[in-house]
A and B are shown apart, each in its own frame.
Chain A
Amino acid sequence: MHPAVSQSLLVSRRSRLGLYLGASVAGHVVVLLVVALYARFTDGPRVDLSQKPIRATLVRLGKPRDAKLLPRKEQPPPPPPKKVETPPAPPTPAPPKPEPTKVAVPMPGVKAEPKPTPAAKKPEPSKTTSKPTPQKGEANGEDRRKRLFGAFDKFSKSSKQDEELEGAEDGDPHGDSATAEGERYFGLLSSQVRRHYDVADTIPEAERLYLKAQVAVRIDRTGEVLEARLAKASGNALFDSAVLAAVKRASPFSPPPDHLRDVLRKSGVVLEFSP
């Protein structure tokens, strides 16, 4: 045969389409299988936030207590709980802070950083006012920017009132947050929930060792909770309702950063509680 004939398109040749098709289908099946198995055998990225924040206390100036003496209580025995009414302060947003370059929780078009302040310790408005709700019809970007900063300021200040101060929330201005952005937001979530994580004393000590409940939470772009449901019950109904209540009381959360927004809205995040 003339060599030109063998290259002619008019001559029919054995087709390899079947082979390629087969390989393609097999490849897809493998990919799907691997995905399914991966999802089956991993719990998703785990974030260990059990690390204790560093707490420092300033020791009062004065003579040290004689080691031979019996201890004294720092405070008298706690009186029965009294409700202190904190009047909701007028919603005047604080002025924006001058900005270091590091980004804490980025907003659309805005670089935000929770105020890194141990200084402010004013009585603060109740938490409901700190809800950052972006509103429609805001023409001015500057307005919005101010509002967001005001919200952050209030939030970080009001958190200072609480007993349990978590270091992660404001972090260090020189921290390497740029690489661990996701974890940082999860840390924020965790500390916000933990502040409301109240569990009844009645839960037997033996049970406290193994109680575990999972709450699946979906969060929208403003930090509002779309859905919070018990994904895995602990077996103790009181504990289950306590952790659900903790999530509800802790919401709304801070707005999630850009790259987590979709994940948090669609598949959400699972909070695994143990006492």
Chain B
Amino acid sequence: MNVKALLLSLLLPLAALAQAPVIQISGANFRPLPLAVSAPLVQGDEAKAPAGKLDETLMYDLRASGLFQMLDRASFLADAKEGVTAGSIKFARWADVGAEALVKYTVAQENGELRVEARVFNVGSGREEFKTTHGAPVAVPHKLAHQVADAIYRHFTREPSPFLSRITYVRKSGTNRDVWVADWDGRNAKQVTKGGINLLPALGPDGQVAYTSYRQGQPDLFLQQEEGETVRLKTAEGQMATGVAFSPDGKRVAYSLADGESAQVWVADTNGGNRKRLTDTRYGINSSPSWSPDGKRIAFVSNRGGSPQVYVMNTDGSGVKRLTFQGNYNQTPDWSPRGDLIAFTARDERNAFDLFAVNVETGKITRLTQDQGNNEEPAFSPNGRLILFTSTRNGTPQLFVMTAEGNNQMPLPGQEKGAYLTPDWGR
């Protein structure tokens, strides 16, 4: 016994000296990464103009992603002529302006092609972590910018960015409402319809555009394949089909079909065949379907309980469950590609339209926008990190983007006069 005690008393101080105590620390505060992107080093005068456009697009992409705190170039302390290799960079100067990561890139033009070489450095360790080169025709610097931004985004998050995806929306001009398709930031926009009243467009996973159009008198669904061929999805005579939504695999569509008394949710193949009605209420509205990412459930709006609320059901129409119990005017649900949230528009007690998100499992509602005009029509980015929506905070409705938590709300650049309505985000 005594021997043991003696041994222990001998051992313990020794062990304490040999081994430092370990303290466990968790509960990090996650916040956007302070990122410095230095102005591009442009080789040759002819590349200057496209490099400027490229830089503008690249900076917007990174800023709007909500993941980076883009540091102001005016505050940079480093020499403007500083090199682009780790050896020639004075990292202390970048650390002094608060940067944790640094992006440097060069732009060169040869044979009508714009080439970008970008490098990402860890300011703390002073190491080059990533290098990427991209090329594109001089005419499309924004495309090149999206590619570079995507590579940088992937380097940090190891997941695809939304920068290469496309969006669709309706633009009002005069009495016309036309469907447009554009890059995710609204640049590079192409008009899909030519005049008339066209409503509620949706983008399929393969680039197909579906929308409601009055082009043949009666409102009906039209589907334009990526190659440009447009087909009419036959729906029942004398009924109005709206709110089309593509299934995640792009093979089916859901939409709402209204007659005089009620509106019901239907699904069909993208050629109009194999139609099936999912809801069956004698009166009232069932509309605005949105597919879950696994393609097994559909969220929709119904006023069967007295006021419009968000419901979910299986794709065969079974298992209908009401999801929202707060507010008395909830509509336009959009299911996050991550599956956990459904964003929707609601009118609050002050008669303001704002965006909310409801957790599909718990039914908990969080508010995303507040006190800034009317905010409507949420559409998740393909990675579920961003939400595109319309806002009247600057007057006419315009397209805005924010993070899925409602942070970093920014207008899309270069929007013209005339209302922008009902956006949808494709892949």
Contacts and interface: CB of A to CB of B under 8 A. Distances in A.
B58 to A, nearest CB: 16
Nearest to A241: B124
Contacts of A11: none
B82 interface: no
Contacts of A273: 25-26, 28
Contact of B32 (A201, A242, A274): A201
Given A35-B15, A200-B31, A71 B100 contact: no
Contacts, number: 189
B16 A200 contact: no
A189 interface: yes
Q: How large is the interface on B (under 10, 10 to 19, 20 to 34, 35 or more residues)?
A: 35 or more
Interface in B388-408: 406-407
Contact of B20 (A35, A200, A269): A269
A266 B14 CA distance: 13
B159 A204 contact: yes
Contact of A268 (B16, B20, B33): B20
Contacts of A193: 25
B21 interface: yes
A2 interface: no
B11 interface: yes
B88 interface: no
Interface stretch (B109-117, B214-222, B363-371): B363-371
Given A34-B11, A44-B19, A238-B100, A197 B24 contact: no
B125 A240 contact: yes
A45 B21 contact: yes
B154 to A, nearest CB: 10
Contacts of A42: 15, 19
A201 B30 contact: yes
Interface stretch (A46-54, A110-118, A127-135): A46-54
Nearest to A231: B20
Contact of B22 (A47, A68, A164, A201): A47
A70 B367 contact: yes
Interface in B341-396: 346, 348-349, 354, 356, 365-367, 369-372
Interface stretch (A74-82, A139-147, A172-180): A74-82
Contacts of B365: 70-71
Interface string B162-206: 000000000000000000000000000000000000000000000
A155 B414 CA distance: 49
Given A34-B11, A39-B15, A271-B23, A70 B28 contact: no
A238 B17 contact: no
Contact of A202 (B21, B23, B157, B327): B157
Interface residues of A, number: 63
Interface in A24-50: 31, 34-35, 38-39, 42-50
A35 B14 contact: yes
Nearest to B18: A39
Contacts of A198: 28-31
Contact of A200 (B32, B326, B328): B32
A35 B18 contact: yes
B127 interface: yes
Contact of A72 (B10, B26, B367): B367
Given A71-B366, A72-B370, A238-B156, A216 B20 contact: yes
B81 interface: no
B122 interface: yes
Interface of A: 31, 34-35, 38-39, 42-50, 66-73, 76-78, 81, 164, 182, 186, 189-190, 193-194, 197-204, 206-207, 214, 216, 237-238, 240-242, 244-245, 263, 266-275
Given A47-B22, A238-B101, 5 more contacts: A202-B68, A237-B124, A238-B124, A263-B16, A267-B19
Interface of B: 7, 10-11, 14-33, 66-69, 100-101, 122-125, 127, 129, 156-159, 325-328, 346, 348-349, 354, 356, 365-367, 369-372, 406-407, 409
